[in-house]
Amino acid sequence: MAVPSSLRPLLFGLAGLLVLVLGACSSSPDDVSTDPQQEEWTALFNGTDLEGWTPKITGQAPGTNKGNTFRVEDGMLTVRYDGYEQFNGQFGHLVSDTAFSHYVVAAEYRFLEPQAPGGPDWATENSGIMVHSQTAGTMTRNQDFPISIEVQLLGSAGQETRPTANLCTPGTHVVMADTLTTTHCINSSSATYPGAEWVRTEVRVLGDSLIRHRVNGEPVLEYTAPQIGGGMVANPDSSIKQDGAPLTSGHIALQSESHPVQFRTVEVLNLRGCTDPDASNYKDYYVASAPSRCVYE
């Protein structure tokens, strides 16, 4: 059953204000190139601190950065566990304060050593980029993962075959080959990369239609119709987890799953904007129209 439209702002961060939020995080009209083909990427991480992000760690209130899990080191967004005696299932997420609907998010990542004491074997050289995520503030204190679509990031962990940019679905489902897919994790077709190697992953997200994963420029996985459903998320608020509701927008989150990881780039290309060719800030790569953002000289 589809969720009533009145509930959707609560689910994924004031969707009714999405246009305003997106506008706030984008370049001002004076800063945007008039070349309709020049892509205008926005850095989500400022290289100095965690401004624009909210941590949410299992067992902690939103905004509590237990053990300084998420930090900035040498200008890079870093996840470490030197403040933990034992990991004890304290999965964490750093959630963007900004919501998006049509966009490309790109991150360059690598894994560090060692894994946190007590981290699960499956989480070795394992992290993720969550798209269409709920806000940190709508997660319960003991919720382990946000309702979201996870782009799973993996290092080789000594294995010959271990692809990255896989799909996992905490509290969600997707459609593949016109069939609702309820399998929790599905491998991509990517190559296997050593954990210490920098890898660039891009995720193209088009509302509740297409999501496509790319690794180092190569397409490796795609699917459609992201929606709330299924399990694989502990202790969610039942008023938030409305199975069958389409995921049309949401936030971006970075995981902490017990293995240290570092991000040197986290950026987004907004695909929602002025689609009128007569406007000075028209871009021909926009796929969703926001007429209120058009500027005419």
Query: Residue 31's pLDDT is what?
Result: 52
How many Å from the N-terminal Cα to the C-terminal Cα in the chain?
Answer: 46
User: Cis link prior to 114 (omega < 30° from 0)?
Assistant: yes
Q: 230 in the Ramachandran plot: left (φ > 0), alpha (ψ -120 to 50) or beta?
A: left
pLDDT at 123: 97
Nearest to 14 by CA among 267, 249, 291, 290: 249
Structural class in CATH, domain 5-293: mainly beta
CB-CB neighbours of 179 under 10 Å: 8
Asked whether 155 and 162 are in contact (CB, 8 A), the reply is yes
* Residue 49 DSSP code: S
Paired strand residues for 219? 214
C-alpha 170/C-alpha 158 separation (Å) is 26
pTM, entire model: 0.89
Helix, strand or coil, per DSSP, at residue 136? helix
Q: Domain extents for the chain? A: 5-293
Q: Cβ-count burial of 205 within 10 angstroms (0-12 exposed, 13-18 middle, 19+ buried)? A: buried
Q: On the CB side of 274, how many CA atoms lie within 13 Å of its CA?
A: 23
Question: Per residue of the chain (297 residues), what is the pLDDT tens digit?
Answer: 444 444 444 445 444 334 334 443 444 434 557 899 999 999 999 999 999 999 999 999 999 999 999 999 999 999 999 999 999 999 999 999 999 999 999 999 999 999 999 999 999 999 999 999 999 999 999 999 999 999 999 999 999 999 999 999 999 999 999 999 999 999 999 999 999 999 999 999 999 999 999 999 999 999 999 999 999 999 999 999 999 999 999 999 999 999 999 999 999 999 999 999 999 999 999 999 999 999 998
Phi and psi of 175, rounded to 5°? -115, 130
Query: Can you tell me the distance from the alpha carbon of 177 to that of 133, in angstroms, rounded to the nearest whole number?
Result: 24
pLDDT of the residue at 34: 81
The torsion of the CA quartet 112, 116, 120, 122, rounded to 10 degrees, works out to 0
Q: What confidence score (pLDDT) does residue 12 get?
A: 53
